[in-house]
């Protein structure tokens, strides 16, 4: 076992090992070992260790290794061919949309803008957002026709209407004048209605129309028909 050695012994150790390996005398080591029991014993043990290590037999590679190496070489050649085939592939230009995809989605930026608008002026932001969603109306087709039509033609309808109104006014005036003239020509004392008063002594003598009128006016208390049947 190794012991705690003197620094002089420690510094001599590599030389001591070489002395044990070579077997040839080394004046420095031999002189030291002659006066140092620890190093003398260490030298003896080192010689034995070297002898033991060197006693290990040299092993011979088994025949099996040939086949394994050939397999490794063929696998390596296949791999190299595959790599070369991949490296020889033509360069393909990246599509333009790749750059757009790499840039990333823009939604976050839109979201940021909307949020900042809401924070700055909420009502204005909401109005603007919803006003922009109102349906856009399309101009009616006759607008284009109107625009194409000359301005004087567009006034025909109102002019015709005005003419009709003036005509109607004239006719009305003429009618009024005619009626006025006719009234002036008619006699001023027109015959009035003739009122005939007949007195009946009995209810039975009433005219049927008058008996019905009397029955209606009295709520049925005066029933001319019943009275006339009882009287007869």
Partner 1 sequence: MKSDPDRELVEACQATAPTGLEGAFRRLYDQYKDRVYNVCFRITGNATDALDASQETFGIMFRKIAEFRFESKFSSWVYRIAVNAAIDHKRRAAARWLPSFEPQNEHTRPAARADLRDERTEAPLSAATRHELEAEIQAAISRLSPKLRAIVVLRYVENLSYDEIAEALQISLGTVKSRLSRAHEALDRELTPVLDRHFLR
Quick one: 79 or 218, whose CB is closer to partner 1? 79
Which of 9, 83, 86 has the alpha carbon at shortest distance from 46?
Answer: 9
**Residue from 7, 62, 90, 231 in contact with partner 1 (CB under 8 A):** 62
Neighbours of 170 (CB within 10 A): 10
Question: 61 or 156: whose CB is closer to partner 1?
Answer: 61
**Which 68-107 residues touch partner 1, going by CB under 8 A?**
68-77, 80
Q: Are 168 and 195 in contact (CB under 8 A)?
A: no
CB count within 10 Å of CB 211 equals 20
State how far the alpha carbon of 131 is from the alpha carbons of 95, 118, 127, in Å: 39, 15, 6
Distance of CA 36 to the CA centre of its chain: 93
- Position among 7, 35, 37, 53 found at the interface with partner 1 (CB under 8 A): 53
Q: Is 56 in the site for partner 1 (CB under 8 A)?
A: yes
Tell me how many residues contact partner 1 (CB under 8 A): 36
Contact status: 124 vs partner 1 (CB under 8 A): no
Among the listed residues 6, 28, 31, 48, the single contact to partner 1 using CB under 8 A:
48
In the bound state with partner 1, the residue whose beta carbon lies nearer, of 77 and 143, is 77
Q: What distances in angstroms separate CA 53 from CA 39, 47, 57, 104, 118, one per listed residue?
A: 20, 10, 9, 67, 85
**Is residue 57 at the binding interface for partner 1, with CB under 8 A as the rule?**
yes
17 touches partner 1 (CB under 8 A): yes
- Residues binding partner 1 (CB under 8 A): 1-2, 13-14, 17, 21, 45-46, 48-50, 52-62, 64-66, 68-77, 80
């Amino acid at each position: 076992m190794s012991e705690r050695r003197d620094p002089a012994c420690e510094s001599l150790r590599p030389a001591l090992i070489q002395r044990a390996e070579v077997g040839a005398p080394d004046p420095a080591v031999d002189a030291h070992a002659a006066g140092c029991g620890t190093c003398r014993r260490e030298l003896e043990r080192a010689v034995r260790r070297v002898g033991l290590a060197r006693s290990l037999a040299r092993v011979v590679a088994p025949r099996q290794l040939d086949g394994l190496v050939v397999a490794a070489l063929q696998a390596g050649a296949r791999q190299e061919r595959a790599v070369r085939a991949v490296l020889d592939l033509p360069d393909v230009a990246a599509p333009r949309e790749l750059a757009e995809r790499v840039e990333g989605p823009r939604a976050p930026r839109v979201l940021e803008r909307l949020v900042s608008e809401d924070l700055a002026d909420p009502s204005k932001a909401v109005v603007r957002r919803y006003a922009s969603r109102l349906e856009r109306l399309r101009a009616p087709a006759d607008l284009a026709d109107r625009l194409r039509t000359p301005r004087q033609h567009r006034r025909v309808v109102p002019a015709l209407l005005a003419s009709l109104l003036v005509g109607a006014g004239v006719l009305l005036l003429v009618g009024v004048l005619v009626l006025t003239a006719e009234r002036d020509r008619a006699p001023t004392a027109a015959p009035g209605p003739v009122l005939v008063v007949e007195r009946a002594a009995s209810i039975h003598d009433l005219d049927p129309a008058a008996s019905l009128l009397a029955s209606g006016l009295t709520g049925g208390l005066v029933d001319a028909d019943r009275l006339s049947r009882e009287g007869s």
